[in-house]
Structure 1
Amino acid sequence: MSDSASPDDDGDEPAPGLRKIIHVDMDAFYASVEQRDDPSLRGKPVAVGGDGLRGVLTTCSYEARRFGCRSAMPSVTAKRLCPDLIFRRPRFDVYSAISRQVREIFLDYTPLVEPLSLDEAFLDVTDDDRGIGSATRIAELIRQRIRDETGLTASAGVSYNKFLAKLASDQNKPDGICVIRPGEGARFVAGLPVRRFFGIGPRGAEKMAGLGIETGAELAARDIDWLRRHFGSQADYLYRAARGIDLRRVKANRARKSLGTERTFDKDISSGSALREVLERIIALSWERIAKAKAQGRTVTLKLKHADFTQLTRARSLARPVATRDEFSAIGHALLDEVLPLAQPVRLMGLTLSQLEGEEAEPSGPPVGGTAQLPLL
C-alpha cells in the first residue's frame, strides 16, 4: 500500500520504564550547506542534484520549495516551476563530515543515537545523563550548538515515542521545535492528514482518500479488521499510528541493510555491450564502498529501470558471504545476462549487496501494544 519507505521496526520488546525521545532533522541539509559555503546563494532558490535532462533533485532550499520544487523531482520539472533555480552538484564528502560533527553533538547528551540518514536521527534522552532536567531543554541546547558549531539550523520534535517525535520535528520547520506531551499524541495525530504519516506516500494517500480516509481521525475510526481487509500487513502499523502508539526502542548503531551503487544514464541504453560496460563501472564503485565498510553479504541484486519507469530486478543469494570483488562481478554480470536482450531501453542501473552479516529480519511495523506510564517532557 505504501509507495515510500516502510516504517522501521527493530523487532525488540518495548523498552522498559519511561521514555523521552527527540527527533532532530537538519533543515534542507545539502542545500543549506551550499548556501553556507557560498554566501552568494543565500536567499536564492538552490537545488542540489543534476541539472541535465535526466537530473533529479536530491534536495532544494526553502526558497525553491516556495515554487513547488521538492526532493526527487526531475530537474526539468523543477526548472519549469522555478526558472531561476540554481543547481549545485552534491558534495557528499562535505555533507558526511558535517553529519559526523552533528552526531558528536548528539553523543554529548546520550549514547542512544539512531541515525536515519546524514541529516536526521532519533535520540533517547530518558536517562538525562547530564542532569539537564527536560527533553525539551536538551533539544534546544542541541539545536543551539548545531547553529553555533556548523552555521546550520535544525528542527526538533520531542515526544514520548519515535512516531510522534518524527511527526513533531516536521511541524514547525525550518528552525523550529514542537513538543507532544503524554496524553496529547492521539489528539495531535487526529488532526493530521494521513499523507504526513511515515510510510504513506502519494499513492497510499490516494488509496486512503478513495476509501474516505484523509485524516488521522478518520483512520482511527476504522477497526483493525477493516484495516486488515484493505491494507494487509500494514494494518497493525496504521491502527497504532492513528492512536499515537509506538513502542519501538531508539536503537543505536543501527545495522545497514545493503551497500551498492545505482546510476541514471544521460540517454537510455538498450545495447547489451553498453550495459555491460556501465555495469563494470558500477561494480567498481559498489565494491569500493563494500570494502571500505568491511561488509559481508550473501545476496547480490541487479536493478534496472526502463524508460517508462517500470522496474526489473534480479537477485542471487549464496549460502555464504560473497568473498571477493571478482565473485561479486561475476554474479552481477550473470544477472544482467539473464535479462538480455532487453525488451525496452534502460534509464537506470544499480547493483547492491544485501543480507549483510548481523542483519535481522524486521516485521512491517511495531508490535501492537498498550499504553505505558509516560514522563513529562
Structure 2
Amino acid sequence: MKRFVIAGLIGIAPVQSHALDEAIGRALFRRAWVPAPSSTLANDGLGPLFNARSCAACHTTLDRVKVETDAAGIVMSDNIALRFSNASGAPDPVYGRQLQTSAVSGVMPEGRIVMSNGCYKPDALAYGDLDPQTRTGTLLAPALRGLGLIETIPDAAILAMTQEEKPDGVRGRINWVTDSHGQKRIGRFGWKASAPTLPEQVEQAFHLDLGMSTLGRPALAGDCTSAQKACLAAPHGGDETTPEISGEIVSRIAAYLASIAPPPVAETKRAGERLFAATGCAACHRPSIPGKDGPVRAFTDLLLHDMGAELDGGATEPGVASTEWRTAPLWGLSRALANSSRLLHDGRASTLEDAIRLHGGEAARARTRFEALNASERQKLIEYLRSL
C-alpha cells in the first residue's frame, strides 16, 4: 500500500501505476491554478490571459451542459469559447486564436461573451477592433465520456473508412496533424479533429483556456500576441526550458480522461435504428468502429466532412475549411438533452429536428430523406436519437 498526498487528495491506494495516475489526474483536473509567483510553486503559472482557472470549470460535469447567461445576455459560465481566425485559419493579429475573458492582475482581459439575437458574440473588446479579415466562431465544451475508447481505435480502421464507397456524395477525410515531435498523425479529438492524442488535447486546453505552457506548447504567455505588451511582461511560472505544466501532469490528466467510461448504451429502438441507417445518418455517424478491445459505439467516423454553408463555423484552423467538422460522437446525446444543452458545435440548434435541418453539404441528402419521413417515422427516429 502506498500513501499519497497531492492537490488536496489524501488516501490509501494500491501500488498500481495506472490507477494512481488516474487518481492523481482526477485531482489535477479539478485543481484551481493561480497566477505566478505564488507561495505554492506547483500551483502557479495561470494566465496571464485565460478563460478558466481549472479544467473542471469548463467541464462542470463530464457531460455537455447549458451555457449560463445573466439578464443582459452576458455569459457567466466557462463552458464556451470564442475562436478567431481568418479564412485560412490564421489567428487574429491582436487577440490571437481565442477570446480570453479573464486576466491576472495588471493585465486587461480581452473582453466578454454575450448572447445576442441567438448568437454568441465578443463584447467590450479591450485591445481595439478585430482585424477586418478575422472571423468569429463559437465552440461549446464537449462531453468527456468515452475518450479513452476513441483512443483505442487503430489508425488502420480510420484509414479504411476513407477508402470505402459512400452514398449520397458523402466523402470524409482525415485531418493529418503535425504533432509536437514533427510527425504526421491522424487527428481524432476536438471539433476539427485537431489533436491526435489525449495528451495533446490536454496541452491545447492548457494553452488556450488556462494560458499555461507545456512541453508541446511552450509559449509562456499562452495565446498572448505581440500587441499585448502587459501580457508578455507579466510573471510566468516557468521559463524557456521548464514549462509551467510538466509532461507528467499532462499524462496523468490524460490518464484520468481515458479512464472515464462511455455513456451506457440504451436499449436499441429497432424502428428508429433502421430509419437512422435508411436516411443516411449512419454514413457519417457510424454506430460502431472496431477498437483494440472491441467495437466502439460512439456514432462517429472521426473524419472531417464538409457540412455546407448552414454549418459554417466562421473561425477555423489551418488546413480545415470553416464548413468542415469532425463527425460529432452521438453517444451521450440523451445526457446533453437532459441538461438542457443546445446542440451542434455552437449551440445554434435548440432541438434535434433543428440540428438535422442545419445539416447541409455532404449531409444534404440525408436531411432531405429525414424531411420526407411521415410524422410517425420522424418521431421514431427522434426517439432513437434521444436514447443514445
TM range (shorter): under 0.3
Q: Which has the larger radius of gyration?
A: 1
TM-score, structure 2 length as denominator?
0.25
Q: Normalising to structure 1: TM-score of the pair? A: 0.26
Name whichever structure is richer in strand by fraction: 1
Structure (1 or 2) with the greater helix fraction: 1
